[in-house]
Amino acid sequence: MTRNFWSVAFAVAWRVVHNVFTTPALFVPGLLFPLFFFTAFAGGLSRVSSIPGFDFPPGYTAFQFVFVLLQSAAFGGVFTGFGVARDFEYGFARRLMLAAPNRRGLIAGYAIAAIVRWSVTATILTVVALAAGMNIGGGGVDLFALYLLAVLVNITATLWATGVALRIRTMQAGPVMQMPVFLILFFAPVYVPLALLEGWLHAVASVNPTTAFLEAGRGLIAGEPTHVAVAFGAALALGAAFMLWAFRGLKSAERAL
Amino acid sequence: MSVLAAQVGQIAQRSVVRTLRQPASAIPPFIFPTALLAVTSAGLTSATRLPGFPSDSFLAFFLAFPFIQGALFATMNAGTDLARDIQTGFLNRLALTPMRGAALIIGHLAGVVTMGFLQACFYLVVGLVAGVTIASGPLGVVVILILATLIAFAFGALGAFFALQTGSGEAVQGLFPLLFVGLFLSSMNLPRELIETDWFRIVATLNPISYLIEAIRSLIIYGWNPQALVLGFGCALLIAALSITASVWAMRRRLTRT
């Protein structure tokens, strides 16, 4: 049973990774968008760090790097969900489901592929950020925790998008996968710390789990960990909830076979 | 001339109806720029405390952004629709009729212009409802609508050129990241004089999109600023002229090929 699960997972993961890295139209947007955001935010908005009350010792580049890293992780998962929807639209997923001895392995395979895909994006993004002069205050353990948190966000987003794709089973599901992730990412302290947000956005950001991810990530890169347990707890809870969501989506897809 | 007008009218009618009948392409230009307007203006409210920031409302400052992002959607929609006409053979069938190339391009852009105008009205209403006061008054509102529609036309023509050149909807879609870069590397988030990073400020100064944004922004937050308006209208007209010329050339080549 376990062997069936992993053989399906690795086969699906290999296929998705191969497709993504041999098709520039699939890989390039997922790589370019985080770089655009990083350039625009870290480069164009660096003066924002002069706002009274803005206190982040490593500087605005590191402040924005954490957001873009987590954003790339989340959108890496969403882009993988697009691939699941595409597989259904072209009929490949139907054949895959008939052939797989353990269908839960399909979801695991897409999640593994999402991590591999995002790892490349994260590596390039990190190199660009370091080349742009990003300061890092945290040590090795802090940085490991930061990237681990991003991996959890990546898996959570993959499970969300895969669950949508398994239910709707068409590329038209794209906005349904993308829009909630976009909103939950931006209804958070993206440009300034939570304390400097005002009005309705402050109220929304205060209860948004993305805020915990960002605050923990920024604390880790600064070497002053804060809210780390809350962030990991929220990421694991969301991951578990969306795993259930994806498995139920699989049941829905099985009924449609 | 009347023949040309009739041909433009027929293609324009088809373009407008087709655009309005496709919710998947008609709705995002309203939703996405408005969502970005909401989150960015709320997230950067504290930027108004920066010394030299030209407005005490970041929403008013940032309201110019959706007009330009909406125009980028116009590029995609115009290009994708025309590419679909090429891929489905509709353009080849039209080539067998007396329809002129110029009529096809101008008529095709009618849908884009209609959408551009509706989008501009929508963004203005959103801004006014959210409490923005247009410093240039009612006449300024009219000028904003004219400029926004012109910008949508200019970018739509650019999309049409890429569609005619490549004949592929996917290739046109691939243009979106490039245009998005152009938008992000502009003065959309901060006035150029407040951009701290030197290379970014230079790129933003060379980027025509900065002047399109600043022209609309000037009408919203300053009132009447002739320099900003001349630069904004000048850039929009230049992009429109170049794009239309390139589209007509690409249309001739494509019709010759078929």
Question: What is the residue extent of each domain of chain A?
Answer: 2-255
Give the model's confidence band at A169: pLDDT under 50 very low, under 70 low, under 90 confident, else very high: confident
Q: What is the mean pLDDT of chain B?
A: 88
Query: Who's near A94: CB < 8 A, 6+ residues apart?
Result: A88, A257
pLDDT band, residue A171 (cuts 50/70/90): confident
pLDDT at B128 over 90: yes
Distances in Å between the Cα of B199 and the Cα atoms of B175, B176, B180, B185 are 24, 23, 18, 10
**A182–B contact, CB cutoff 8 A:** yes
Contacts of B36 in chain A (CB under 8 A): 186
Closest-CA residue of B relative to A47 is B196
Confidence of residue B230 (pLDDT cuts 50, 70, 90): very high
Size (chain B), residues: 258
Mean of the pLDDT values across residues B16-35?
80
Among A170-174, B175-179, B213-217, B254-258, where is mean pLDDT lowest?
B254-258
Give the minimum alpha-carbon distance from A27 to chain B in angstroms, rounded to a whole number.
12
What pLDDT, on the 0 to 100 scale, is given for residue B125? Answer: 96
- Residue B140 pLDDT > 90: yes
For range A2-18, the mean pLDDT = 92
pLDDT at B37: 92
Most confident of A211-220, B149-158, B185-194: A211-220
* Residues of chain B found within 8 Å of residue A175, distances taken between Cβ atoms: 28
- Shortest distance between the Cα of A71 and any Cα of chain B, in A, equals 15
Indicate if the pLDDT at residue B226 is higher than 90.
Answer: yes
Q: Distance from B174 to chain A by nearest Cα, in Å?
A: 8
d(CA A108, CA A91): 20
Domain that holds residue B129: 2-257
Residue A87 has pLDDT above 70, yes or no: yes
Contacts of A33 in chain B (CB under 8 A): 177, 180
Number of independent structural domains in chain B: 1
Q: Give the pLDDT confidence score for residue A61 in this predicted structure.
A: 94
Which residue's entry shows tokens 């069938």?
Answer: B93
- Test B39 with A187 for CB contact under 8 angstroms: yes
Which of B43-57, B169-183, B209-223 is predicted with the least confidence, judged by mean pLDDT?
Answer: B169-183
Q: What ipTM does the predicted assembly reach?
A: 0.75
Q: What is the pTM of this model?
A: 0.83
* Res A156: pLDDT: 97
What pLDDT is recorded for position B139? 96
Q: How much of chain A exceeds pLDDT 90, in percent?
A: 67
B163, pLDDT greater than 90: no
Provide the pLDDT for residue A70: 97
A148 versus B249: which is more confidently predicted?
Answer: A148
Judged by average pLDDT, the poorest of A27-41, A82-96, B161-175, B189-203 is B161-175
Q: Which residues of B touch A39 (CB under 8 A)?
A: 184-185, 200
pLDDT at A229 over 80: yes
Provide the mean pLDDT of chain A.
92
